[in-house]
Chain A
Amino acid sequence: MKAEHVVQLELHVNGERRTAVARPADLLLDVLRESFGLTGAKPGCRNGDCGACTVLVDDRPMKSCLMLAVESAGQAVTTIEGLQDEAAQRAFVEQFAFQCGYCTPGFIMNIVALSRLEPQADEGTIQDWMQSNICRCTSYEEIGKAIHVVLGKR
């Protein structure tokens, strides 16, 4: 790797200023995991299909495998490690909304964003947002219940 292709990145992650030495071609997902040890965002398909790597960037859900780390400079990145006793976290526990748990951080990040940005979301909006995440254990029934609890629909 040529030195010219490595840069020092300053990112705002979970309320803290963090620096990493990375290539501009490195993904946010990999920098979060490998430079900062934040392994909550999961590498699944690495193709933008499964949603397991979802984080919040300026409060919007973003698949961190579809974003260069360098793109997120100047924006607030929140990973599952940055959440503290969120309603979505409690609802997942109470509704047993997981089996293997690999997809859980991605689902929770998306639900947290949904509840903040679309607190009055109707069923169509909920479905539209949640199609971004895949649970290969097919816990959709329980995940659906957890979402409705978070949005106060149940």
Chain B
Amino acid sequence: MPMIPYPFDYYQPATVGEAVALFVDLDARGKQPLYFSGGTEIITLGRINEVYTEAVIDVKRIPDCREIGRRSGAFVWGAALTLSEIHDARLFPLLGETGAGVADRTSRNKITLGGNVCGRFIYKEAVLPLLLTDSPLRIAGPGGERTAPIGQLFDRTLRLGRGELLVQAMTDVRYAAFPYVTDKRRKGSAIDYPLLTVAAIRAEEGIRLAFSGVCAFPFRSTEMELILNRREVPAEERIATAIARLPAPILNDIKGSALYREYVLKVTLGETLERLEKGVAIG
């Protein structure tokens, strides 16, 4: 019995345009194509029949999807870079370290930035730094290319049109100098499934925070940030008020009850604020 119970065709385009054209063609032929970057989610969900496709389009050989470096004052992250490659490049530690919260090191040699951002799993740690920095995303699709800040494109999931491909993310290099905290909490030990992740930076206007594993989707909430940045109010009170403004109910599953998650979130937020507020004058 093969591990993936259905067959599919495999394509390896050399350019973004070729990949999109392939998708359009395969889609028109009813092949239900999927872009394949690290492919770990397609493989593991395909094994249990939760993903079906008759054609995968591997984007790992497309130079644009593999670009990493600085260009015009921004870090460029190709969507097919693995999380290990981004971590080891040490260009932007907030992204490298937060992405290192995904799965384990060997798996991160396969899991890509694009796969983590676009995938179905709700634990998308790598998206948090992009939300905190409102990094522009370059997207290609049948209608051409577009670039827009992630804040306009990510609402619970990345809002892609049919046949659209995430090609790159760009992050302003000045964010690399900002103080940051990235904190992934697990229930049992260092080796365990995630409970929640809080990532935060201290920007000019105040602390920005993004969350994964708190609700059923990763998010950044400017409403919560406004509350948490009122430094004239005691931290405990700010945290309680902010948690009351979460954008959705707290997750309640086998990995942790909603009550337990709320407690862990309170503790993590308290420590995050303490670390980032240290030495900062109250405005």
Contact = CB atoms under 8 A, between A and B. Distances in A.
Contacts of A71: 39, 58, 60
B248 interface: no
Interface string A4-39: 110100000000000000011111011000000000
Interface in B194-243: none
Interface residues of A, number: 35
Nearest to B9: A24
Given A48-B40, A48-B44, A131 B104 contact: yes
Contact of B109 (A5, A24, A25, A60): A60
Contact of A68 (B43, B84, B100): B43
Nearest to B189: A131
B93 to A, nearest CB: 14
Contacts of B280: none
Contacts of A54: 106
Interface string B19-45: 000000000000000000011100110
B106 A25 contact: no
Contacts of A1: 7
A129 interface: yes
Contact of A25 (B4, B105, B110, B191): B4
Contacts of A87: none
Contacts of B3: 26-27, 29-30, 46, 65
Interface string B33-75: 0000011100110110000000010101000000000000000
A99 interface: no
B7 A47 contact: no
B109 A27 contact: no
B2 interface: yes
A128 interface: yes
B106 A47 contact: no
Contacts of B2: 23, 25-26, 30
B190 A67 contact: no
* Central interface residue in A60, A62, A65, A66, by most chain B CB within 10 Å: A66
Given A23-B2, A110-B106, A129-B105, A66 B43 contact: yes
A70 interface: yes
Given A26-B2, A68-B39, A71-B39, A129 B7 contact: no
A139 interface: no
B7 A27 contact: no
B9 A128 contact: no
Given A7-B10, A66-B40, A66-B110, 12 more contacts: A26-B3, A30-B2, A61-B106, A63-B106, A68-B43, A71-B39, A71-B58, A71-B60, A129-B105, A131-B105, A132-B106, A132-B107
Interface of A: 1-2, 4-5, 7, 23-27, 29-30, 46-48, 51, 54, 60-63, 65-68, 70-71, 110, 127-129, 131-134
